[in-house]
Amino acid sequence: MKQYPHLYIGGRWVEPADPHYVELIDPTREEAFARVALGSAADAELAVSAARGAFERFSATSVEERIRLIDRVIDVYESHADEFAELIAREVGIPVSNRAQVTGPADHMRVARDLLREYPFETRVGNAIVRREPIGVCALISPWNWPVQTGVIKMIYGLAAGCTMVVKPSINSAASGVLMAQVLHEADVPPGVFNLVNGRGREVGDTLARHHDVDMISFTGSTGAGKQVGAAAAGTVKRVCLELGGKSANIVLPDADLERAARWNIQRCFVNAGQSCHAPSRMLVHESQIEQVVPYLVDEARRYRLGDPLESTTTMGPVVSATQYTSIRDLIQSGLNEGAHVVTGGLDRPDGLDRGYFVQPTVFTGVTPEMTIAREEVFGPVLAVLPYRDEEEALRIANDSPYGLGGYVFGSDRTNAHRVVNGLRAGRVSYNGAATDSYTPMGGYKQSGIGRSMGKFGLEEYLEVKSVYGFDEEAQALPALVGSVETVPSTSGAPRA
């Protein structure tokens, strides 16, 4: 069994103050494959202290220094790519064939690095200087479903901004968190800038959220857990960035290419065995076209090859844990109990797989908006197909949710589809399956979150804004924070720069 006995604090590998451990269960084999040290509130305190001690020096580094640092991180990370792929297959069941889980983090690092070259950390508004400065010590709590990428997005924008950080991955993906700390160590990130404390949310996470020396907390996870993080952070009035649950709708308009819409919906919904917060898990189809769509959905769902995620031919692995497996099956059962109809998949184990947390790709029709599977985030390979009578009803059903993370529209008439897109209350909306762009912001409306990650808006989550008065253009010899200076016209009647 692989051993991960250390935390990473102040640039050193250290044993926990009160050593205790968790065994990571391989969801394919239902047996332990690794043992990871867990930290406590005392370790979180030490990590925050290390980050605070490193902040003054690191926040004063130049853009060029941070670009070089990110380049080193990219190089080291890519040298460990195969190790990451194998590890997350063992941790959370993600097939090694899903290379996006491994290549994506490096792509996001490059985006953050490139933004640094042009981002105006100082702007002029009339005779004032508006500065954007690193917010301080950041607590970064990431989930298991994108075990490397989500944490990397948080970490790399924190580094780009000049912040220091304490990172707490999900316990389910704690080993890949340790490997990421090894990457930062090998890349010579200055001591105290990056600190890793694996641990339980109710202890380590709560300590970080409440800590008076943590200036910002970024959390990705369930809406329920996000509410707890926000409540804990309120006592010290720190910045909170939350990416939470989703129940995204895909509105398939009557003039859409039905086959394309159906096959894309299955592919996007069932990536990661459906364990994706942006999954289009509600597909809204005109009531006259349900029978046309179903054969395409069934055919595409049955193309998945379930099996050992370490095998290159596997396209869907198990779900992450016994708890997740039980929760998904309970929700499938609720769909059956409430009168929905399974057209493929269901409760039975996949053929030939007598162990492992495998769930068949499942599609329900006959779903109504009040059913549990239409309202709750299943977080598994389960799609609910809902009929609608007209576009007004489709938008009403799509928006009748506490969530607002993602949205999707398929249709041929671009003008009409644009109107429907504008009616969706969601943070990211894709038309006809268009790919997302890592330079654009990601985040949610309503109970899907607060704040944005990625791109310029993601960088600004880690920056404070300071207005400085009394320095005219002749005072340009003032030391700029970093980067370029942008001039913005004044609207107050003051002299313009």
Catalytic residues, by residue number, are 243, 277
Under 8 Å between Cβ of 106 and 133: no
The sign of the dihedral angle between the CA atoms of 143, 145, 147, 151 is negative
The phi, psi pair for 383, rounded to 5°, reads: -115, 135
Cβ–Cβ under 8 Å, residues 316 and 381: yes
Inter-CA distances, 440 with 61, 74, 119, 410, 464, Å: 26, 21, 14, 21, 20
As a three-state string, the secondary structure of 151-174 is: HHHHHHHHHHHCCEEEEECCHHHH
Q: CB–CB of 121/482 below 8 Å?
A: yes
Q: How far apart are CA 20 and CA 5, in angstroms?
A: 9
Q: Residue 296: enclosing H or E segment and its boundaries?
A: helix 290-301
Q: DSSP states of 105-143 as a string?
A: HHHHHHHHHHHHHH--SEEEETTEEEEEEE--EEEEE--
Q: What is the distance between the alpha carbons of residues 474 and 497, in angstroms, rounded to a whole number?
A: 11
